[in-house]
Amino acid sequence: MPDFTHVLIASHGTPGAQAAEQSALAWCRTGGRLSHLVVVPDLWSGMMGDDWLNNASTRDTYGKYVEGELQREIDLHVERLRAQTAAAGITYEYKVMFGKPTACLLEYERERTPDLVVIGTPRPKGQLGLRSRMHPERLGGELMAPLLVIPYPR
Amino acid sequence: MVYTQRTPWTLIMGVIMVAYAYLVQSGTLAAFIKYLGTGRHVGEMVALGYIFGGIAIVIGLWQLLAKTAEGHVDYYLSTVGGVIFIMLIAFVVKWVLDPQMAQWGRAARPALGFNFASVMNLNYVVMGIIAGIVTVNVFKVPSWAENGVRLSRLGLKTGVILLGTLYSFAELQQLGKLSVVLIGVFVLGSVGLVLWWGARRNLPNSMTGVLSAGVGVCGVSAAVAAAPVVQAKSTEIAYTIGTILLFGVICMFVFPIAGKALGMGYITFGAWAGTGILNSAQVAGAALAFQPEGIETLKVAEIFNITRVLFLPIIVIWLAIWYVKREVGAQKVDVGQVLISKFPVFVIGFILLFLLSSTGIFAPARHYQGSYFDNSDKVMIKKDRAGKEINNYLKDADLDLLKKDAAKVKRDDQKAALQRLIENKKLMSIEDDDTLRGVVNAKILSKEGNAVLVKAHRAVRHTAPKIAKFRDLIAWFFTFGLVGLGMQITLASIKQAGGQPLVVGSVVGVIKAVGSLIVVMVFVHETI
């Protein structure tokens, strides 16, 4: 298996993303660097919907609660990957970005210039999760580094 | 932080509005207005065009030229661009798209066999909401308009508060009782059903909790209020809100179509929409879609909306206690704090305006409550502007039609009211008018006979000009609010509808809609 010095992984903790993380770890050489991108999809900006009845304090409580929930989930995810990279002797860094997943990945790749980009495949039908996905076709055309798409674990 | 953005758009929109008002006022657009048949709106086109256009030009120039500094003034002025943006869309929809769609509907009737614009209620309210949804999902709300778009909530709340002036004590008392019973049964029933079903399907308590609030009480607003209390996970919130938004948007189209197909009146439809539609924002939308040229349906529906929101703190406390019992380590809730923090303050404004208007401080009390009754000769025989006499008494041909249809009326009170109408050639009392409205709604007489009853009704029911303008103002607040709320319904959030919340929410939502329809049709009468 060829190994890379600097691998970029975009993942968000789902089974498909975790499979991609394992591949990224396997493809990154010991002493190398893993740059981890966590995207908070911009669909969350519409998650107060058309609420109009609540007063400001209720909306504020809700906003802080949702932010806290997302942060907690990201923290758990990051800590898990940090432990795995430490065990493999890989330097770990992560970045949380808000926006469209594909656009965020392209921006982060330009910023970090990795040797390899790893993502999971879109979730198969029937699997639960947020409907927000990467577009491999666009990534293939615009990424500078090779793109590795890991199949969903069966 | 400085909120005001240096943009030319506020100024440009202001110039467009003022130019339009000027062109209408000068008669340059007379042919266009005649083609669209919007002559009755000329007054508001000129007034609103100059008012909003003038404000936009002044603020637009300030945004472009003045040096902005942090502070409250900066924040408030940063909202003007968004408000003007919504109003411009509302103007286009109300004065151009609405009449144009009505014309297309009529033109397509021979080919389709029905008037699609009328059947699908493609009026300015529905199209305004669609315009908002299209704006946010296709073009994106411009960043300089975001603060103003958020003000749409204030527009809706202000509309509800002003609506407080249009109720009589009797109306409020009867609608209040009816809404407490219906909302009580269906809100508590659907919350209970979701909690029970969620447990049967082994759904997480947090998911069941947030879903029950959303499906049971007032949609997204209830989900927003309940999510932190039941410690809902992020995906559970996304599923629930996506499901409610999807269901709400569908209901906004389906309810008015079904209401018209079933021949529902203002009260029965308002009661049904106010109980059966999951999301409270779409209740106002459906009521105005059902009756775009009046606010009687909205008046009924909003009482139900207010009752729902008064139930919200109670449901949140119920869910909090329910959750604490089931989850180890869940935080206990401070009941007093929940009651205070979740209390809808705008309802106090509604009650205050209702009380103030009841004292006659704004206008004679009878002028407020819908159309007031007057069958005196002064109003039955009038002169038009040219001095020609207009006699509103029923003609012999009208009376012949009624006599021919009289045998179809079976109820004694309806028979007596019809007889008095035939004898006097005009309606003799509010009670007779109300009784015969029931005959019209039930379509007991022939089409021609019904038309005579409607004519007799219009002859004795009058709206004070001041109140008519006030109602228009309220309708504009709701239009502003609904277009702005449309801009907050993203397809990305609707797409999250899925999983168990979609199954449970859809089933309970349909049960609630159909159940409330049956109850309203059987037990609610068209007169209050």
> What is the per-residue DSSP string for A94-124?
EEEEEE-HHHHHHHHHHHH--SEEEEEPPPP
User: What pairs with residue A35 in β-bridges?
Assistant: A8, A93
> Identity (one letter) of the amino acid at B342?
K
| Residue of chain B whose alpha carbon sits nearest to that of A52 | B153
- Average pLDDT, stretch B69-86? 90
Q: State how far the alpha carbon of B59 is from the alpha carbons of A30, A46, B11, B49, B127, in Å.
A: 61, 29, 7, 15, 28
Q: Tell me, what's the pLDDT at B47?
A: 96
Q: Which two tokens stand for residue B14?
A: 């202001």
Query: Is pLDDT above 70 for B528?
Result: no
E strand or H helix that includes residue B21: helix B9-26
Examine the domain organization and report whether B47 and B121 are in the same domain: yes
E strand or H helix that includes residue B217: none
Examine the domain organization and report whether B101 and B210 are in the same domain: no
Residue B107 lies in a domain: yes
**Which of B413, B443, B462 is where one domain is finished?**
B462
Find the Cα–Cα–Cα–Cα dihedral B442, B445, B446, B448, rounded to 10°.
Answer: -100
Q: Cα(B174)–Cα(B267) distance, rounded to whole angstroms? A: 11
Task: Give how far the C-alpha of residue B326 lies from the chain's centroid of Cα atoms, to the nearest Å.
Answer: 39
CB contact under 8 A, A61 and B341: yes
Query: Which of B224, B282, B490 is opposite residue A58, by nearest beta carbon?
Result: B224
Chain A CB contacts of B219 below 8 Å: 49
Query: Is pLDDT above 60 for B369?
Result: no
User: What pairs with residue A33 in β-bridges?
Assistant: A6, A91
Q: Tell me, what's the pLDDT at B426?
A: 93
CB contact under 8 A, B234 and A66: yes
Phi, psi of B432 (to 5 degrees): -60, -40
Q: Of the given ranges (A14-28, A45-59, B178-192, B265-279), which has the lowest mean pLDDT?
A: A45-59
Examine the domain organization and report whether B236 and B332 are in the same domain: yes
Query: Is pLDDT above 80 for B58?
Result: yes
Residue B366 lies in a domain: no
With H, G, I as helix, E, B as strand and everything else as coil, classify residue A136. helix
Chain B CB contacts of A53 below 8 Å: 218, 221, 280, 305, 309, 312, 344
Which of B162, B155, B160, B34 lies closest to B86 in space, CA to CA? B155
Which one is predicted more confidently, A20 or B382?
A20
**Which of B146, B173, B200 is where one domain is finished?**
B146
- Average pLDDT, stretch B435-450? 85
Q: What's the gap in Å between the CA of B498 and the closest CA on chain A?
A: 8
- Average pLDDT, stretch A25-46? 93
CB contact under 8 A, B281 and A131: no
Task: Give how far the C-alpha of residue B421 lies from the chain's centroid of Cα atoms, to the nearest Å.
Answer: 34
Query: Contact, B408 vs B454, CB < 8 A?
Result: no
Hey, CA dihedral for B308, B312, B314, B318, is it positive or negative? positive
CATH code, residues A4-150: 3.40.50.620
A59 has a chain B CB within 8 A of its CB: yes
At B371, is the pLDDT very low, low, confident or very high (cuts 50, 70, 90)?
low
Q: Cα(B210)–Cα(B244) distance, rounded to whole angstroms? A: 11
Query: Contact, B501 vs B223, CB < 8 A?
Result: no
Query: Is pLDDT above 60 for B367?
Result: no
B486 has a chain A CB within 8 A of its CB: yes
Residue partners of A112: CB distance under 8 A and separation at least 6:
A6, A8, A35
pLDDT tens across A118-139, in order? 999 888 877 777 888 888 889 9
Residue partners of B61: CB distance under 8 A and separation at least 6:
B11
Task: Give how far the C-alpha of residue B508 lies from the chain's centroid of Cα atoms, to the nearest Å.
Answer: 23
- Average pLDDT, stretch A32-39? 95
Q: Tell me, what's the pLDDT at B434?
A: 82
Which one is predicted more confidently, A119 or B170?
A119
B279 has a chain A CB within 8 A of its CB: yes
- Average pLDDT, stretch A90-110? 95
| Residue of chain A whose alpha carbon sits nearest to that of B307 | A53
Q: Tell me, what's the pLDDT at B440?
A: 84
Q: Cα(B219)–Cα(B493) distance, rounded to whole angstroms? A: 14
Examine the domain organization and report whether B226 and B309 are in the same domain: yes
Q: Tell me, what's the pLDDT at B106?
A: 92
Examine the domain organization and report whether B66 and B197 are in the same domain: no
CB contact under 8 A, A59 and B499: no
Chain A CB contacts of B279 below 8 Å: 49-50
ipTM rounded to 2 decimals: 0.90
Phi, psi of A115 (to 5 degrees): -85, -25
Chain A CB contacts of B493 below 8 Å: 43, 46-47, 49
Examine the domain organization and report whether B247 and B383 are in the same domain: no
| Residue of chain A whose alpha carbon sits nearest to that of B499 | A128
| Residue of chain B whose alpha carbon sits nearest to that of A40 | B234
Examine the domain organization and report whether B194 and B337 are in the same domain: yes
A46 has a chain B CB within 8 A of its CB: yes
At B398, is the pLDDT very low, low, confident or very high (cuts 50, 70, 90)?
very high
Query: Is pLDDT above 60 for B203?
Result: yes
Find the Cα–Cα–Cα–Cα dihedral B14, B18, B24, B29, rounded to 10°.
Answer: -60
Query: Contact, B474 vs B159, CB < 8 A?
Result: yes
Residue B354 lies in a domain: no
Query: Is pLDDT above 90 for B278?
Result: no
| Residue of chain B whose alpha carbon sits nearest to that of A128 | B499
Which of B351, B350, B290 lies closest to B159 in space, CA to CA? B350
Examine the domain organization and report whether B74 and B209 are in the same domain: no
CB contact under 8 A, B227 and A62: yes
Output the average pLDDT for chain B: 89
Share of chain B above pLDDT 90, in %: 57
Range of the domain at B256: 182-344+495-523
Domain spans of chain A, in order of start = 4-150
Query: Which of A50, A61, A131 is opposite residue B496, by nearest beta carbon?
Result: A131
Examine the domain organization and report whether B295 and B401 are in the same domain: no
B409 has a chain A CB within 8 A of its CB: no
Chain B CB contacts of A62 below 8 Å: 224-225, 227-228
Q: What's the gap in Å between the CA of A69 and the closest CA on chain B?
A: 6
Q: Cα(A34)–Cα(A6) distance, rounded to whole angstroms? A: 6
**Which of B130, B146, B162 is where one domain is finished?**
B146
B-interface mutation test, from A50, A51, A61, A98, most B Cβ less than 10 A away: A50
Examine the domain organization and report whether B289 and B410 are in the same domain: no
- Average pLDDT, stretch B190-206? 93
Which of B25, B422, B362, B33 lies closest to B166 in space, CA to CA? B362
CB contact under 8 A, B481 and A52: yes
| Residue of chain A whose alpha carbon sits nearest to that of B489 | A49
- Average pLDDT, stretch A40-56? 87
Chain A CB contacts of B305 below 8 Å: 53
Q: Of the given ranges (A77-91, B156-170, B246-260, B459-473), which has the lowest mean pLDDT?
A: B459-473
Examine the domain organization and report whether B210 and B130 are in the same domain: no
Number of domains within chain B: 3
Mark which residues 305-324 of B lie under 8 Å from A by CB: 305, 309, 312
Q: Cα(B206)–Cα(A35) distance, rounded to whole angstroms? A: 34
- Average pLDDT, stretch B46-55? 97
Q: Which two tokens stand for residue B63?
A: 């945004």
CB contact under 8 A, B492 and A132: yes
Q: Tell me, what's the pLDDT at B368?
A: 53
Residue partners of B274: CB distance under 8 A and separation at least 6:
B179, B182, B183, B283, B287, B300, B301, B302, B303, B304, B305, B307, B308
Examine the domain organization and report whether B76 and B27 are in the same domain: yes
